[in-house]
Amino acid sequence: IVWQTPANPDYVIRNGRYVRPYYFEFISHVKNRWAGKTIVDLFTDEFKGRSREYYVRAVKCGRLQVDGQMVHTDYIVKSSQKISHFLHRHEPPVLAGVISILQNEVDVVTICKPASVPVHPCGQYRKNTVVGILQAEHGLTPLFPVHRLDRLVSGLLIFAKNADRAECFRQQIEAGLLQKEYVAKVFGVFPDGEQTVDANVNFNAREGRSTVENGKQALTRFQRICTDGTYSIVLCKPVTGRTHQIRVHLKHTGYPIANDELYLSFDIDPMCTNCPNLAPVGYDEEGLWLHCVRYTGPDWSYECPYPDWA
């Protein structure tokens, strides 16, 4: 994939952070099993998100090119040729929070990630990402994310500035030398004292959520920080790193994150083909009350301020 370098003029801040629509070049190379097909047949068979009529028009107007050249609709592709598909992209908006740089060292930069912003290009997002915004607004490139934060989660995010430092972090992660801490706001009066949840986590990609059945071994430690009788602020220390681990483990304890609609009320019928497309209204537009506050390694520690809701 080749994508334009983000720049400040690309962004519009208006009840959120928007990206001006732009042209985007998807690049693919012809696989051996694709060779011998016409370009229209190839895209109709392999990329079913658009109709055959669309691909015919795309070839005729030059939106689909082979090795940088326009071709006819009956052009037969050959193995290893480069095919470019030019699209006019409209990225979804994200919340307009500022990406605060916490520490900017020689080979490491840490930031406070706003909720709703993905870390790196994925799916519909290219420029409305932490990596894209840091490049556009601060000239920080290249950046190597040391760990994950889901799009709806906020808080501490660590980047290495070079491959050697990134490899050092990777080795420490593989050796289990890192400790992670999050805070969450949950419904109810969370029990006092350290609570340990040792329950397997199984992520269902079709449903887009995890359950505590079968799956991979997962362990999280929880400690109540405070409560007002309705909500509790809880310190969360995941020992493993499964998808949605903290969210599903808190639900498992009976104290789910208070604005996590996916785990509060979204029940899916496994035989229904529409359920995966019916997430709660507004769920995907705002952030969770889940925030990364600290990462600690053998000889380093990075922290992030608590969010307003905590």
Interval 227-253 mean pLDDT: 96
Whether 22-89 and 100-303 share one fold: the answer is no
What is the model's pTM? 0.82
Side-chain half-sphere exposure of 66, counting CA atoms within 13 A:
20
pLDDT above 80 for 280: no
pLDDT given at position 283? 44
DSSP letter at 91?
P
Relative to beta strand 108-113, strand 154-160 is: antiparallel
pLDDT band at 264 (very low <50, low <70, confident <90, very high): confident
Give the model confidence (pLDDT) of 50-71 as tens digits.
Answer: 999 999 999 999 999 999 999 9
Task: State the helix-helix crossing angle for 52-60 and 39-46, rounded to 10 degrees.
Answer: 140
Could you please report the per-residue DSSP string of 35-49? Answer: TTSBHHHHHHHH-TT
pLDDT given at position 265? 61
pLDDT above 60 for 259: yes
Q: Is 107 a catalytic residue?
A: no
What gap in Å lies between CA 107 and CA 22, rounded to an integer?
A: 32
Give the model confidence (pLDDT) of 153-173 as tens digits.
Answer: 999 999 999 999 999 999 999
CATH number of 100-303: 3.30.2350.10
What gap in Å lies between CA 141 and CA 5, rounded to an integer?
A: 11
Give the lowest-confidence range in 94-103, 209-218, 276-285: 276-285
pLDDT band at 205 (very low <50, low <70, confident <90, very high): confident
Interval 175-191 mean pLDDT: 96
301 strand-pairing partners: 296
pLDDT band at 270 (very low <50, low <70, confident <90, very high): low
**What architecture (CATH level 2) is domain 22-89?**
Roll (3.10)
As a whole number of Å, the end-to-end CA separation of the chain is: 39
pLDDT given at position 209? 85
Q: Could you say which of 150, 164, 228, 269 is catalytic?
A: 150
pLDDT above 50 for 282: no
Domain positions in the chain: 22-89, 100-303
